[in-house]
């Protein structure tokens, strides 16, 4: 920020404080809390943009607002609401209360005379620290095959479930050395979501996202502690947590041929019971798939890099990961058409499997991701040239069926380690990433909620919270390439979205915020008899098609950015999942790591 801007800002602040005192001298009638004031319910960094959105505003006359202590007695800031802006999705009008100039540490509310005040929030450094740590701890609560003792899990402690030490080879996965019914051991890993199955494809992007957080911010990540059983060992907790799932993933590779089973699953979903209370039933590994093999190869290759530094603590692990990656890649080369098609599989084999499919009709992006990670780990150009890294000008937002851009992130991150062949493409690669981020950053100030999330109704899909978080990651990747803080400010705005500045007024992170998801489609949260849901889990969130998809009763609207039901029947808008939590972990922790760089109001460009 240049000096004259700082000066103007200080003048404005002094002016506001002066007005504030006057207002204080003539107190307005006290108003209660209002759900119409939407903001990040956790709070704001002192130097960052601070915005609340007043929804359902008809507009008209100029209207003041104040930021006060929660008791309303002390006014810290006074300003005017913006002119109304139209929400392009709902057509509803909203106004902005921008109090970015208030930088004084404390806990406050935004008060709109005649309307009411917001939930309390805090302005302080490291304001997202607890939610950043809590989201990572969320993975601990998802651990399969282990007890969660009270000293780590608090009131959510529970006995072990799903030991997975006697898992059957499903007929679809039979091979010469492992005929159908062969028993293998495949314990550990994280439960995928609200269900208790374990899926390689979804583990792939989740692991890639967490390991990328580590590779992007290693020093910061070493300071993160989550109070898990491994907290006292020499590894950062982020890596210990990732290892819990990595070790499971390794068991999913057939040592005979390098192929990787698509998932470890029941034939049917478990009931809504605790892990140790579900009806005993067979667990199977099913068909090897090319998407599973390639996502696995990418994760193993990246793990080989990350865990190399811990060879003393984990002797041989990095080498095993590298070998696993190479073997999975070789299998994929021999089986490029082995897509996972559950319906076709069920026609051919018994028993039918009806759990999550993570089926994907196009593996070209998985090829790109695996090739890039293998190339970065081995420095072998043949991986790089095995695929067309830039099949078109697109840079798709990462999601479980679309992992191309994860390759771009990794190549950009390690650009100083590329071979000459890879270096050639760097300018192109960088422009792919910045073009993606530019789409999200563009016109944020024209949006009703002042967030990149929700510029288009198509953002509101199953797991839309992860759309917001992954947009945030794309913006942070662009910031890392350019040092342009406007990318960072836009990423922070999506954090605000997730924590309450949105069209439904919920913080989608369990346990964080005043009005937050209480009834996620999450078996332990439903069955444990504890009122509070397991904390640190990201609800999938608003989903325009949820009513049709889960047929839960109680949806009251079809407006795309408002279809959300905090009810455990709503698995299409209120489940939790590891591939949604992982980008939350990335976004929250990256913002914490970069907090000294965020700044300015959203209006400043």
Catalytic positions, written as ranges: 566, 575
Which residue is nearest to ligand 9MR, using beta carbons?
356
Q: Which of residues 223-252 bind ligand 9MR (CB under 6 A)?
A: none
Which of 121/571 has CB closer to ligand 9MR?
Answer: 571
For residue 77, the SS3 value is strand
> Which residue in 57, 192, 366, 459 binds ligand 9MR (CB under 6 A)?
192
Q: Which of residues 456-475 bind ligand 9MR (CB under 6 A)?
A: 462-463
Judged on CB neighbours under 10 Å (0-12, 13-18, 19+), 167 is: buried
Q: Decide the pairing of beta strands 167-169 and 284-285.
A: parallel
Q: Tokens 């608090």 appear where?
A: 154
Which of 131/193 has CB closer to ligand 9MR?
Answer: 193
Judged by CB under 6 A, the number of residues near ligand 9MR is 12
> Which residue in 195, 257, 373, 459 binds ligand 9MR (CB under 6 A)?
195
CB of 396 to ligand 9MR, least distance (A): 14
**Residue 83: how many other CB atoms lie within 10 Å:** 12
CB of 288 to ligand 9MR, least distance (A): 19
CB of 568 to ligand 9MR, least distance (A): 8
In this structure, are residues 302 and 211 in contact, taking their beta carbons and an 8 Å threshold? yes
Collect all residues with Cβ–Cβ distance below 8 Å to 446 and sequence separation of at least 6.
85
Which of 195/241 has CB closer to ligand 9MR?
Answer: 195
CB of 460 to ligand 9MR, least distance (A): 13
Backbone angles phi and psi of 158, in degrees to 5:
-155, 155
Give whole-number Cα distances, 507 to 292, 406, 601, in Å: 33, 27, 22
Give whole-number Cα distances, 553 to 55, 201, 389, in Å: 26, 31, 45
Applying CB under 6 A, the span of 19-27, 164-172, 193-201, 449-457 interacting with ligand 9MR comes to 193-201
CB of 116 to ligand 9MR, least distance (A): 35
CB of 550 to ligand 9MR, least distance (A): 7
Applying CB under 6 A, the span of 12-20, 187-195, 319-327, 369-377 interacting with ligand 9MR comes to 187-195
Applying CB under 6 A, the span of 42-50, 189-197, 335-343, 525-533 interacting with ligand 9MR comes to 189-197
Judged on CB neighbours under 10 Å (0-12, 13-18, 19+), 301 is: buried
Q: Which of residues 343-382 bind ligand 9MR (CB under 6 A)?
A: 356-357
> Which residue in 77, 139, 571, 586 binds ligand 9MR (CB under 6 A)?
571
CB of 463 to ligand 9MR, least distance (A): 5
Question: 539 has which bridge partners?
Answer: 576
Applying CB under 6 A, the span of 81-89, 186-194, 249-257, 482-490 interacting with ligand 9MR comes to 186-194
295 lies in the site for ligand 9MR, by CB under 6 A: no
CB of 195 to ligand 9MR, least distance (A): 3
Which of 73/279 has CB closer to ligand 9MR?
Answer: 279
Which of 195/216 has CB closer to ligand 9MR?
Answer: 195
194 lies in the site for ligand 9MR, by CB under 6 A: yes
Backbone angles phi and psi of 548, in degrees to 5:
-70, -35
In this structure, are residues 533 and 505 in contact, taking their beta carbons and an 8 Å threshold? no
In this structure, are residues 562 and 460 in contact, taking their beta carbons and an 8 Å threshold? no
Applying CB under 6 A, the span of 79-87, 178-186, 444-452, 571-579 interacting with ligand 9MR comes to 571-579
Strand order in the sheet with 93-98: 37-38, 51-55, 93-98, 85-86
> Which residue in 54, 193, 503, 526 binds ligand 9MR (CB under 6 A)?
193
Collect all residues with Cβ–Cβ distance below 8 Å to 551 and sequence separation of at least 6.
none
577 lies in the site for ligand 9MR, by CB under 6 A: yes
Task: Single out the residue of 79, 49, 111, 117 nearest to residue 514, CA to CA.
Answer: 117
Q: How far apart are CA 90 and CA 490, in angstroms?
A: 22
DSSP codes, 43-74:
EE-TTS--EEEEES----S--EEEEE-TTS--
- Return residues touching ligand 9MR (CB under 6 A): 192-195, 269, 356-357, 462-463, 571, 575, 577
């Amino acid at each position: 920020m240049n000096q004259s801007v700082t000066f103007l800002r200080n003048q404005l602040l002094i002016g506001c404080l002066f007005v504030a005192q006057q207002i204080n001298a003539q107190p307005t009638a006290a108003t209660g809390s209002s759900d119409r004031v939407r903001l990040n319910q956790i709070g704001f960094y002192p130097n960052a943009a601070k915005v609340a959105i007043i929804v359902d505003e008809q507009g008209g006359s100029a209207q003041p607002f104040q930021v006060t202590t929660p008791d309303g007695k002390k006014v810290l800031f006074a300003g005017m609401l913006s002119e109304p802006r139209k929400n392009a999705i709902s057509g509803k009008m909203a106004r902005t209360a921008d109090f970015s100039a208030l930088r004084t540490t404390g806990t406050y509310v935004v008060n709109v005379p005649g309307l009411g005040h917001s939930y309390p929030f805090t302005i302080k450094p490291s304001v997202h620290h607890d939610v950043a740590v809590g989201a990572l701890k969320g993975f601990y609560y998802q651990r399969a095959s282990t007890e969660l003792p009270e000293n780590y899990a608090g009131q959510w402690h529970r006995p072990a479930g799903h030991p997975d030490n006697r898992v059957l080879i499903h007929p679809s996965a039979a091979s010469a050395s492992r005929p159908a019914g062969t028993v293998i051991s495949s314990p550990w890993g994280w439960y995928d979501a609200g269900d208790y199955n374990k899926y390689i494809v979804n583990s792939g992007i989740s692991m890639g996202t967490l390991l990328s957080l580590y590779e992007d911010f290693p020093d910061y990540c070493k300071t993160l502690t989550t109070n898990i059983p491994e907290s006292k060992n020499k590894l950062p907790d982020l890596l210990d947590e990732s290892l819990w799932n990595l070790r499971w993933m390794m068991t999913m590779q057939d040592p005979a041929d390098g192929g990787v089973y698509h998932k470890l699953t029941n034939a049917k979903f478990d009931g809504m019971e605790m892990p140790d209370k579900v009806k005993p039933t067979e667990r199977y590994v099913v068909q090897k798939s090319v998407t599973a093999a390639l996502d696995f190869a990418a994760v193993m290759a990246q793990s080989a890099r990350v865990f190399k530094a811990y060879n003393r603590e984990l002797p041989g692990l990095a080498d095993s990961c590298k070998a696993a990656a190479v073997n999975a890649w070789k299998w994929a080369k021999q089986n490029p058409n082995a897509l996972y098609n559950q319906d076709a599989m069920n026609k051919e084999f018994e028993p039918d499997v009806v759990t999550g499919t993570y089926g994907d009709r196009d593996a070209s992006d998985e090829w790109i991701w695996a090739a890039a990670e293998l190339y970065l780990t081995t420095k072998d150009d043949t991986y790089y040239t095995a695929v067309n890294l830039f099949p078109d000008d697109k840079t798709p937002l990462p999601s479980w069926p679309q992992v191309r851009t994860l390759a771009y992130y990794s190549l950009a991150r390690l650009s100083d380690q590329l071979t000459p062949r890879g270096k050639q493409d760097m300018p192109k690669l960088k422009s792919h990433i910045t073009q993606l981020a530019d789409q999200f950053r563009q016109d944020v100030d024209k949006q009703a909620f002042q967030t990149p999330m929700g510029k288009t109704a198509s953002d509101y899909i199953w797991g839309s919270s992860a759309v917001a978080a992954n947009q945030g990651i794309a913006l942070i990747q662009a910031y890392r390439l350019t040092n342009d803080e406007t990318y960072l400010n836009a990423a922070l705005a999506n954090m605000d979205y997730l924590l309450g500045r949105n069209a439904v007024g919920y913080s989608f992170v369990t346990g964080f915020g005043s009005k937050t998801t209480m009834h996620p489609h999450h078996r332990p949260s439903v069955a444990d008899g504890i009122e509070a849901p397991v904390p640190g889990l990201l609800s999938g969130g608003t989903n325009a098609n949820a009513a049709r998809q889960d047929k839960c009763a109680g949806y009251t609207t079809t407006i795309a950015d408002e279809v959300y039901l905090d009810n455990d029947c709503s698995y299409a808008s209120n489940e939790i999942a590891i591939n949604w939590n992982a980008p939350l972990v990335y976004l929250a922790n990256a913002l914490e790591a970069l907090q000294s760089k965020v700044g300015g109001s959203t209006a400043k460009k």
